[in-house]
Chain A
């Protein structure tokens, strides 16, 4: 034990099982995580595979055009500037943008698809077009107009907000419903602005139905699609929780810590050290006997057990019969048989059995032996 080698071996022996468990856990965790790709989540999120996500549409469009996903108005401006040529800006969740940003985007005058825009965005991109009401969202509307994109797509699930252009304004209104039209296209400078009252038909779930996919693809028909889904603005230089707390409360932590230290000292300080004392040895004197009983039992040492029982019996009765320990078996058997009034052969078979011992065959036989011996000791008492 004292050699360093043995010490290391002991350390290794104590560490190897926890180590093996740890390695197994890591392997299992890695294997489980392999099939578990994390997709972003969110409404009309281009990477999302949720029912309301936009991954299906984006992936489909990417087969024949470039789709660039941008997360802020500034990025959208930059991207559009880089592309320069044939591009469509698709704006989702425009309420996350600030008015200035919306105006800046509108001033770019590129082809734009506004999906369920706010009134302010509508004003900037398509002045004169106004939201005129809503239709039930599970209705399928017919195109019924001469906008090529809608005409080609046919009926689609575009029910949602509906719009109306101002009287006299040059506008193409499609998918007419009771209160207005679900898709309205107006001229906006050199470009066209298409307002769509819902994004329902573009979601992963709805895209395969009716002419939904065709309508969405047609509305964003260009070499480059800039998919703007702004992130919410994080307010800058806002106060943290700690800064909002009263100053007194913050500073009170210092004396409170001191109080806790004092409390620990007060409760933790012992009045003098513990007094050690060696423990006494507690072992039963009969321990070895019990241990041997366990050995007999586990090894089924019936022959030895039978011999021991017989020896005990002979010791108990030999005093009563006036026998000496070194008397030969014949003397013992005849004395015992005479006293008990039994057949000497039977007593002899009980005390000095042939080999193999019939009483050592199984536990039952051993029990029989004990009973017969006990019965004879009782009679001799």
Chain B
């Protein structure tokens, strides 16, 4: 049951009536209270039943972080009474639903009305509708009924994929490799692609003399990089991935970089698998076949949150090994944390690198670099020294990883995605995949 401001006014009128009643006050009080109670009860009874309302939703089911999702809520009033009141569509605070206040609703019996809702989520993951509260006020406007109805809907908030802007540039580098570039630069790959007519500018060394002899014109051989290679992106979702670099957790920077890599690899014809791991598998995407699985990947990443546990690189290596014996590029996105990696990952590294090519990518924290430059006070010096110590640890792990045959990409949050893409393109150009 709900009451309105009008009911308060009514009760104050009753106060006035009793004040001027004089000797018959007790009787007037009883009568006034009865009238107020009766009117409120009547209004509650005459209000449309909120429980009878039928709710349906339609609209976006996913949205990129930072963008807005448009939803609509259709309220159908199957009763014969008109629904007067308010409708509130409740979402978690981080979904930033607009309009924020409850919409006034007036739905004639048997009809329906559409309420538009805009979500601009500020957190990645699944935003779930909490329920729709319908408040129906009676014809007198004194009181009414209220009920929260369930109208489930989930909007999956996807990683923003800011590094998309690097995609055209990296794709054109990739096309250079494939010999499809507009400048017709010969492909650098090692796999034979096709024969085509010679055009001026082609490297004379690429002329296929045997084919030329069989044809009218001069024919050149084109090369292309290997295709159908397998890439496994492993995302460390452990404790260290929760740390914020700038305003964003390290995990989100890693996701951004993995998405660019996956998009690029998908275009290059490689197959991308995905694994999120801390002490157990948090998410996994297996490539069904050729082509881009970027949608699957994005959707698998969306609900991932950093788990506040120490990662288990040994278990991670085991899981990777269990994925199959076929050689693949394993891209591990983690923090170059000396303690964790040296103890757990390095001992397992030889088995891993003997079968696969390992690429470790890590987001470097510019705050630590800035700390290393601090001078001026004893405190600043200690901070600088501590930062130097962190950087030295990272260098040590990097050197160790490289010595054991792994590739390491260590770049700031702005550059990690293009740097990882470049590393991939370079590996491809060298035919090391």
The CA of A265 and the CA of B387, in the complex, are separated in Å by 58
A-B residue pair count with CB separations less than 8 angstroms: 190
Q: Give, as a whole number of angstroms, the nearest-CB distance from B251 to chain A.
A: 10
Do B14 and A258 have beta carbons less than 8 Å apart?
yes
Nearest opposing residue in chain B for A298, CB measure: B382
Encoded as 1 (CB less than 8 Å from any B CB) or 0, chain A from 239 to 276 comes to 00000001111111011101100110110010111011
Q: CB < 8 Å: which of A249, A277, A281, A363 contacts B93?
A: A277
A289/B23 in contact, CB under 8 A: no
Complex interface bits, A217-243 against B, C-beta within 8 A gives 1, otherwise 0: 000000000000000000000000000
B74: Cβ under 8 A from any A Cβ? no
Is there contact, CB below 8 Å, between B7 and A252? no
Flag whether B73 is at the interface (Cβ < 8 A).
no
Q: Are A271 and B146 in contact (CB under 8 A)?
A: yes
Interface residues of A in 34-76 (CB under 8 A from B): none
Q: How far is the CB of B398 from chain A (nearest CB, A)?
A: 11
Interface residue ranges of B333-388 to A (CB < 8 Å)? 335, 363, 365, 367-368, 371-372, 375, 378-379, 381-388
- How many of chain B's residues have a CB under 8 angstroms from any CB in A? 74
A282 within 8 A of B: yes
CA distance A246 to B390 in the complex (A): 83
Q: How far is the CA of A252 from the CA of B14 in the complex (A)?
A: 8
* C-alpha gap A284/B368 in the complex (Å): 11
Name which of B26-34, B156-164, B291-299 contacts chain A. B26-34
Q: Does A252 lie within 8 Å of B36, measured CB to CB?
A: no
Name the residue on A nearest B364 (C-beta).
A285
Residue of B nearest to A286 (CB): B367
B385 touches A304 (CB 8 A): yes
Contact of B385 among A246, A283, A309 (CB under 8 A): A309
User: Are A370's CB and B375's CB within 8 A?
Assistant: yes
Residues of A within 8 A of B379 (CB): 293, 297
Name the A residues within 8 Å of B395 (CB-CB): 315, 325
Compute how far the CA of A122 lies from the CA of B329 in the bound complex, rounded to whole angstroms: 124
Task: Compute how far the CA of A137 lies from the CA of B123 in the bound complex, rounded to whole angstroms.
Answer: 91
Question: Is A308 in contact with B389, judged by CB distance below 8 angstroms?
Answer: yes
Which chain A residues border B375 with CB–CB below 8 Å? 367, 370-371, 374
Are B25 and A251 in contact, CB atoms less than 8 angstroms apart? Answer: yes
Which of A258, A290, A367 is close to B11, meaning CB atoms less than 8 Å apart? A258
Please tell me if the beta carbons of A281 and B29 are within 8 angstroms of each other in the complex.
Answer: no
B5 within 8 A of A: yes
- Taken together as a complex, chains A and B put the C-alpha atoms of A254 and B18 apart, in Å, by 9
How far apart are the CA atoms of A189 and B132 in the complex, in Å?
A: 99
CB distance from A328 to the nearest CB of B (A): 17
Given A255-B15, A272-B133, A312-B392, A293:B371 Cβ within 8 A: yes
Best-surrounded residue of B94, B240, B243, B395 (most CB of chain A within 10 A)? B243
Shortest distance between the CB of B242 and any CB in chain A (Å): 5
Q: Are B3 and A266 in contact (CB under 8 A)?
A: yes
| A81 CA to B375 CA, complexed, in Å | 102
B15 x A287 contact (CB < 8 A): no
Measured between alpha carbons, how far is A309 from B380 in the docked complex, in Å? 12
**Nearest A-chain residue to B250, judged by Cβ:** A285
Chain A residues, CB < 8 A from B242: 281, 283
Q: Does B288 contact A (CB under 8 A)?
A: no
- B67-94 vs A, CB cutoff 8 Å, 1 = contact: the mask equals 0000000000000000000101011111
- Complex interface residues of chain A between 278 and 304 (CB less than 8 A to chain B): 280-290, 292-297, 301, 304
Residues of B within 8 A of A269 (CB): 2-3, 146
Chain A 329-379 residues near chain B, CB threshold 8 A: 363, 366-367, 370-371, 374
Quick one: given A289-B371, A292-B389, A312-B388, are A248 and B22 in contact (CB under 8 Å)? Answer: yes
Pairwise interchain contact B384-A370, C-beta atoms closer than 8 A = yes
B314 at the interface (CB under 8 A from A): no
**Interchain CB contact under 8 A, B372 and A259:** no
Q: Does A93 contact B (CB under 8 A)?
A: no
Contacts A271-B102, A273-B148 given; does A248 touch B386 at CB 8 Å: no
The B139-190 residues at the A interface (CB cut-off 8 A) are 146, 148
A380 to B116, alpha carbons, bound, how many Å?
64
B255 part of interface (Cβ distance < 8 Å): no
Partner of B244, one of A282, A289, A295: A282
Q: Are B306 and A311 in contact (CB under 8 A)?
A: no
Whether A259 pairs with B86 at a CB distance below 8 angstroms is no
1/0 per residue B91-106: CB within 8 Å of A?
A: 1111000000010000
Q: Give the complex CA separation of A325 and B278 in angstroms.
A: 32
**B23 partner residues in chain A, CB cutoff 8 A:** 247
Would you give 9 A-B contacts (Cβ < 8 Å), ordered by A?
A247-B23, A259-B8, A266-B8, A277-B92, A286-B367, A297-B383, A301-B382, A311-B389, A315-B395
Q: Could you list which residues of chain A lie within 8 angstroms of chain B, going by C-beta atoms? A: 246-252, 254-256, 258-259, 262-263, 265-266, 269, 271-273, 275-277, 280-290, 292-297, 301, 304-306, 308-309, 311-312, 315, 325, 363, 366-367, 370-371, 374
